[in-house]
Amino acid sequence: MDPRPVEQRELEALSRRERQRQLRGTFAGLAEIVVALVIGLFVGALVMDGAGYDWKLAYEGLLIGAFGDQWAIADTLASATPLILTGLVFGLSARAGYFNIGAQGQMIVGALAAVAVGAHVSAPPVMAVTLTFLAAALAGALWALPAALLKATRGVHEVISTIMFNWIAHYTALYMVFNVLNDPRSAERTVRVLPEARLGAIIPGADMTAAIFVAVGVALFMYWLLWHSPWGYEMRIAGLNPSALRYAGASPLWSVNLTFILAGIAAGIAGATQIIGRPPTYALYGDLSNVRNLGFDGIAVALIGRNHPLGIILAAIFIGAMGAGSRMMQIMAGVPLDMVRIVHGTVIIALAAPEVWSLLGKFLSRGRARREAASTAHSKTVQR
């Protein structure tokens, strides 16, 4: 017989059960991802087969294009770099209970700031790069702030305000590209940033630069912040139960501002990575095509990564791999880009669906609770 006291044995059994439950949760999560991936790939194969393309060859191309050699892997990581950051924008905000879809605009503003500083401030290389990233982060944060203030003081829903600020950023950028930061010799883009502000390719022959380390660094910082700091604790409580936060005496105003500012910083840096960390142009194109959709792709990344900074890194690499693999899908299997995008779309939807479902449930139940609270309060007043 076990000589230890009963209490200790019970405790151990409890913690064992708790561990098992956690393990089961992790397995369930992994199984969910695998099942979703299989479903997405299966539907994609059906679509390609129906359109008369060789889906086996296409998926082979996807793999080779994404991970086939050192250049492919580097290109995958290069594509993942901005997505890690824009994924953090949505993921962090969702953890704090906000539906922040302003990554696109904040990223555009970050890219503009990167051009403005990178092209005009001459400094030693490391300093120039740091200054450029800082300027982009600051610009992204400032662009995120109005939405946060409007939310906190006037109750303006962040979905509306961030969408609007996205468009303001878009058209401001068009104006800036053609009139302020324009290159007189090349009207299709802005001036290039100075050589000392550029990050070079780590592996010659591929686009990956040190920007990937910046992106991963920001993600790790966000992870620490969310789960190992009091501010992150407040943010997560705000997301789980805003009234509990108020009850505990913390200020929701501070929480919303902090969330949006941190998200804006990530978005701004994402913009900078595309200007100083992606050869060969080192400038912003007039149709903004080198930052196109990266902010919105970040939403998919965050959903697939379950709004967790480490999950977001993996999800961004996954989406980056799909992007890098798409060229070999075209080259090897002759699948046109539109068809490639349909396949990507089905896979992404399948992977993101569970998280969308749970987020939607959370938002709906919170809305219902608020309405119920309001109606009980109303009926009480009437009774009085």
* 207 in contact with other proteins (CB under 8 A): yes
* 323 in contact with other proteins (CB under 8 A): yes
* 70 in contact with other proteins (CB under 8 A): no
**Is 344:322 a contact under the CB 8 Å cutoff?**
yes
Q: Candidates 64, 121, 156, 164: give the one binding other proteins (CB under 8 A).
A: 64
Write down the residue that tokens 């780590």 correspond to. 202
In the bound state with other proteins, the residue whose beta carbon lies nearer, of 336 and 361, is 336
Q: How far is CA 77 from the centre of its chain?
A: 14
Report the SS3 class of residue 306: coil
**Is 315:304 a contact under the CB 8 Å cutoff?**
yes
* 87 in contact with other proteins (CB under 8 A): no
Length of the chain: 384
Stretch that binds other proteins, among 86-94, 142-150, 251-259, 337-345 (CB under 8 A): 337-345
User: How far apart (Å, rounded) are the C-alpha atoms in residues 86 and 90?
Assistant: 7
User: How far apart (Å, rounded) are the C-alpha atoms in residues 334 and 348?
Assistant: 22
The secondary element (H helix, E strand) that includes residue 99 is: none
* 170 in contact with other proteins (CB under 8 A): no
Q: Candidates 53, 75, 166, 181: give the one binding other proteins (CB under 8 A).
A: 75
Count the alpha carbons within 13 Å of 10 in the hemisphere toward its beta carbon. 3
* 326 in contact with other proteins (CB under 8 A): yes
In the bound state with other proteins, the residue whose beta carbon lies nearer, of 61 and 102, is 61
Tell me the per-residue interface mask from 14 to 53 with other proteins, x by CB under 8 A, - otherwise.
----------------------------------------
Nearest to 238 by CA among 366, 358, 360, 140: 366
Stretch that binds other proteins, among 115-123, 133-141, 181-189, 249-257 (CB under 8 A): 181-189
Q: Candidates 41, 42, 47, 71: give the one binding other proteins (CB under 8 A).
A: 71
User: How far apart (Å, rounded) are the C-alpha atoms in residues 325 and 340?
Assistant: 10
* 327 in contact with other proteins (CB under 8 A): yes
Count the alpha carbons within 13 Å of 147 in the hemisphere toward its beta carbon. 31
Binding site for other proteins (CB under 8 A): 64-65, 71, 75, 79, 174, 177-178, 184-188, 204-207, 274, 278-281, 285-287, 289-290, 292-293, 323-324, 326-328, 330-331, 334, 336-338, 341
